[in-house]
Amino acid sequence: MSKSKFVYILICVLVIFPLVLAGCQPKEKAGAEGETQFDANAPIEVWIDAAREESAGKFIDKYPDKGKLVTLTTTDYGQLPQKILFWNNVGGGWPDASFAEPQIVPLINDAAHSYLGDLRPFVKEEIIKGFAEGALQNCWDGEKLYCLRNDLAFYVMWYNAPKLKELGLQPPQTYEELMTICAKVKQTNPEITCAVSQVQEIFTQMLVSNKCPFEQIIGPGKLRINATHENCVKAAKYMDEMVSKGYLLATNMWAAETSDIIKSDNWLFIPSSSWFGDYVIRGTYYDAADPNFQGKIGVAPMPKWEGQDHPWVYWWGGAAWVMSRHTKNPQLVADFLVYMTTDVIKEQGTYPAYVPAAEEWLKNRMPTLTYLEDPIKAGEILKQESTHMWTMAMEAPVNIRDMFGPIQSKINAGELNYEQSLAEFQKALLDGAAKLGYEVVTEGLDDFPSK
């Protein structure tokens, strides 16, 4: 063998052999999205809001070995979408997890943001199945789970129990029955406001209750915007009649005039979120210590439309937790998120999305709410209605509150009615979707998949 040939073979061995050995070495597990390597000892940063500081800190105290790896950053999580775009540009800085509104979830999962990591491999199946029906509907993207719901803020019907009893009335089971009750009360007791609710939010409840497909996610980068669907028109016509005839006062529920109406006891129904009784009716309108307030407030399901099996409701509030696909320690992130949504949530003031936590929350909380007509029955209604959120609309990237706000101002000024507002709402949503780069269809309706 020539010397040159020997040198050539030796070089090949020296180059190739280490590569072969390297290929036999165990590697770190690939990330959930296949873009980062995992490290069970890697630290994580979690974005929280001020309201979550105490409860999030309990994870660190309860699990010190894990907690030493967790940094909590209190911030405005509404900035997350904009911040993600910046971090994407500089190639780093993403928090490993964040508290977020459900509406933010699809926005930060589009091609431009590409932030979310799949939680499903790191959360036990029995945990996932333990969330209220529909609560995780828009957390799923195919087989991937991109968020865990923190709490729910579904609509219920709060009512003035003594006043209903005085008038010989019961909470309505249908919207048609609600209009009949209000027409009767308007004629016999014109000083009484039959129904009063937060302006704009109550219209959204009407639309959602009749499955109006004003904005639906139908695929990656694709939306359905169909605010002029017949379901929307029916709900808007009903809203117009209720408002124009003085049956429903759609107003600012924190305004002094509204407070005066409630405090004067000249009201029957307040359709609103599940937190409204604890945090507004009690304290804002009525003194919690007033003996006359005890047993005064009833809770009923929202009405359904004739032909529906049960009500469908909107939600005003509630939030979710998300994980970054960039995290190096997804199991720790998942453990933290599971703790926040299934454990410490039981100690917080709003209705947990996780059913076992909600059951314990109801058991401990409801007997203390002595302002309720029947606290135990109220708890049963809350549990029932938590499964009736029609989440096929609302949890989509174009912010409907921002889009409808200027339109609501025109309605308030008498320039439009609610039915007429639908065309402007459609245009505003289309403009919003175009600015975000979404492909849009304007026909049809998607409902929950058949079971």
Where in 146-232 does DSSP place strands (E)?
Answer: 148-152, 155-160, 193-198, 216-219, 222-224
Helix 230-244, helix 201-209: angle, nearest 10: 130
Give the Å distances, CA to CA, from 81 to 22, 36, 84, 209, 385.
40, 21, 5, 29, 31
3-state secondary structure of 409: helix
Cα–Cα distance, 428 to 385 (Å, whole number): 31
What type of residue is 410? K
Of 401, 403, 212, 427, give the one whose Cα is nearest residue 312. Answer: 212
Cα–Cα distance, 160 to 24 (Å, whole number): 73
Secondary structure (DSSP) of 268-281: EEEEEETTHIIIII
Buried b (16+ CB within 10 A) or exposed e, 166-183: ebebebbeebeebbebbb
Per-residue pLDDT of the chain (451 residues; tens, 9 = 90+): 444 444 344 344 344 434 333 333 333 343 344 456 899 999 999 999 999 999 999 999 999 999 999 999 999 888 899 999 999 999 999 999 999 988 888 889 888 899 999 999 999 999 999 999 889 988 988 899 999 999 999 999 999 999 999 999 999 999 999 999 999 999 999 999 999 999 999 999 999 999 999 999 888 789 999 999 999 999 999 999 999 999 999 999 999 999 999 999 999 999 999 999 999 999 999 999 999 999 999 999 999 999 999 999 999 999 999 999 999 999 999 999 999 999 999 999 999 999 999 999 999 999 999 999 999 999 999 999 999 999 888 778 898 988 999 999 999 999 999 999 999 999 999 999 999 899 999 999 988 754 3
